[in-house]
Chain A
Amino acid sequence: MSLVLDVRDATKVYGAGETAVHALRGVSLQVEPGDYVAIMGASGSGKSTLMNIIGCLDVPSAGEFHLDGVDVGALDDRRQAVVRNRKIGFVFQSFNLIPRMSAVMNVELPLAYGGVRPAERRRRALAALDLVGLADRVNHQPNELSGGQQQRVAIARALVNSPTLLLADEPTGALDSTSTLDVLGIFDRLSAAGRTIVVITHEADVAEHAKRVVRLRDGRIIEDTRLAPVDGLPPRLKEVTA
């Protein structure tokens, strides 16, 4: 079976000389289609660094990284933009919606850059917002939405292009428990529908929703535990749907 994600011995060094920070010291990670991976670790252990490399937002100092069988590092600027657009949906801890643009326009944006026609774009954006339960807030601007709602808009935006891989860096970090449950429920349902998800979290009960937990320390993977089979349902699905 082909891997969605194949990181081989990736390292990342920030700065140089005396002050160099080794954020990643050789990380290898393989993710199969349909897996739901939680990455945990102490603050500063390199989780975000790894996630940014996987999301094509940053480049590793050394090591290779294949996405869907393609060596992303070898692609030129324009093709990397296409990869970010089509294959990856990225959810940030701080939502990162574009201000002064309504929810539906934010969700439409990846489709616009992907060259989808306006009518089709609107239809798919509304469908994605419906999926995250925000059908009644489509014309609100980010500053008119609660944090949980903003994060759900961000998830809709990440999903709207049906990416191969959904990445989320502490998606619930800025949310209260109710909103956290909303978001986790969405992820569980997406996982049940076969979507591949990688999520970073600090919280053990968030990690319990995943099928597999990877632990980082000082830029290395120190633990890799499987909680549920790749082709099964996510372990806590019943609770969140109940």
Chain B
Amino acid sequence: MNAVEIVRFAVRGLAANKMRSALTTLGILIGVAAVILLVAVGEGSSQSIQRNIQQLGANTLTVSSSTGGGGGGGGGFRMAQPQEDTGPRTQAKPLTVDDARALADKAAAPHVASVSPVVSANSQAASYEGASHSIQQVVGTYPSYFEASNKPVAKGAYFFNDDVLAARKVIVIGQTVAENLFGALDPVGKQITVTGVPFTVVGVLKEAGSTGGFQDADDLAIAPLPSVQQSLTGFGPLNQILVKAGSADDVAAAQAEITSVLDQRHGVGGTVAADYQILNQATLQETVSAATSTFTVLLAAVAAISLLVGGIGITNIMLVTVTERTREIGIRKAIGAPRGAILGQFLVEATLLSLIGGLLGVAIAVAGAQFTIAGITPVVVPSSVVLALGVSVAIGLFFGSYPANRAAKLRPIEALRFE
């Protein structure tokens, strides 16, 4: 009695009840496919979030006001916003261009490579000849912003420091804006109006591509800081200051320098809490990846439960099979089947059920991962495939062994008398 023979007996046993075998297989199939697919969805969303964060630019620190005062105002005016008191501070100071200048001081902050003050205005109506489009975000800043925020131009050029000093009405637009206003035309050199103010397009940003976020990263326009302040936001506080560190190793040092400069300028210290916050991209990435991995684990846990349910299905079917075939087991034992052969036959039956289910589940999950699910492109994680397959086979062995053992242990006469 060799292994091949035992497998042949097992296959014959399964084939004798095709419908039942198919349904049991289906249980495992769903479990395995769910594990792989849900983990793939989790991984896909995590990767897309990471990509979004990376688009903010490498080695950058974003300084923003921690009071509510920094929000981009609509239109060309700013509403006076009531200051919310947080802590003992009497007056929170907004971020100003002078703060940005202080940060650019090489003596006080040697690890800072560039500083870009930023104001932004949301949903600005732009038009070019007949076409019009509402630009999601218009940013007013310095030329260093392009590099710090990782936004290269595809066509034309950036604007320069001269343009900033002279507050020239020049603008660099994103792909979405270019398409909506110009279609196939070349926008460079053309004049558009943004909320009635004429701007000359000097460049078009390289397409960032939709990365699964809610915002279209290409629906923006960037212009010199004073130009935007004059025409769109007014000369209020900055929304944020984008600081680029010299290198990845300098980020921590730069953050410390920014803190000490701003603490001094804003009178923070002792009982006075900081009225600004620094967003470190690396920290953000870590936080987000921790959050997304929790999410992935949750998804995997849900899927694992369905795999377990599939396993219980196998146990159930094997119990039924063994009970139903107790007489047959008795006959086999009466003509000299050793315990190992009976045990082997039923174990192989259970393992085959789960293995076939597992393999089909992998196939279906991999096929399903080719589609976009809920706006997310799933990324199949190889280890989840190995794990799901391994677990499904282990389930077959584990849950199959109880009924198989029970069958193998029966004394022939008990099995033969079984009704």
Contacts and interface: CB of A to CB of B under 8 A. Distances in A.
Interface centre among A57, A86, A98, A161 (most CB of B within 10 A): A57
Interface stretch (A109-117, A126-134, A219-227, A232-240): A109-117
A210 B129 CA distance: 117
Interface stretch (A17-25, A64-72, A77-85, A186-194): A77-85
B338 interface: yes
Interface string B1-19: 1100100000010001000
Interface string B331-372: 111111111110000000000000000000000000000000
Nearest to B338: A81
B336 A57 contact: no
B335 A77 contact: no
B273 interface: no
B336 to A, nearest CB: 2
A199 to B, nearest CB: 17
A157 interface: yes
B328 interface: yes
B337 A113 contact: yes
Contacts of A82: 336, 338
A58 interface: yes
Contact of A85 (B2, B16, B327, B335): B335
Contacts of A92: 416
A52 B339 contact: no
Interface string A34-58: 0000000000000000001001111
Interface centre among B327, B332, B334, B416 (most CB of A within 10 A): B334
B411 interface: yes
Interface in B298-343: 327-328, 330-341
A110 B338 contact: no
Contacts of B339: 77-78, 81
Contacts of B331: 96-98
Contact of B16 (A97, A100, A113): A100
B411 A96 contact: no
A85 B412 contact: no
A113 B413 contact: no
B124 to A, nearest CB: 78
B334 A113 contact: no
Given A96-B416, A98-B328, A115-B1, A57 B411 contact: yes
Contacts of A112: 1, 5
A59 B412 CA distance: 10
Given A57-B411, A96-B416, A98-B328, A81 B1 contact: no
Contact of A113 (B328, B336, B416): B336
A98 B12 CA distance: 12
Contact of B336 (A52, A99, A100, A110): A110
Nearest to A160: B335
A59 B338 CA distance: 17
Nearest to A101: B12
Interface of A: 52, 55-59, 77-78, 81-86, 90, 92, 96-101, 109-110, 112-115, 157, 161
Interface of B: 1-2, 5, 12, 16, 327-328, 330-341, 411-413, 416
Given A58-B411, A90-B334, 20 more contacts: A55-B334, A57-B411, A57-B413, A77-B339, A81-B333, A81-B337, A81-B338, A83-B336, A85-B337, A86-B336, A96-B416, A98-B332, A100-B16, A101-B12, A109-B335, A110-B335, A112-B5, A113-B336, A113-B337, A113-B338
9 nearest CB pairs, A to B: A85-B336, A81-B338, A58-B413, A84-B336, A57-B412, A57-B413, A110-B335, A113-B337, A96-B331
9 contacts: A58-B411, A58-B413, A81-B337, A82-B336, A84-B333, A84-B336, A98-B328, A113-B337, A113-B338
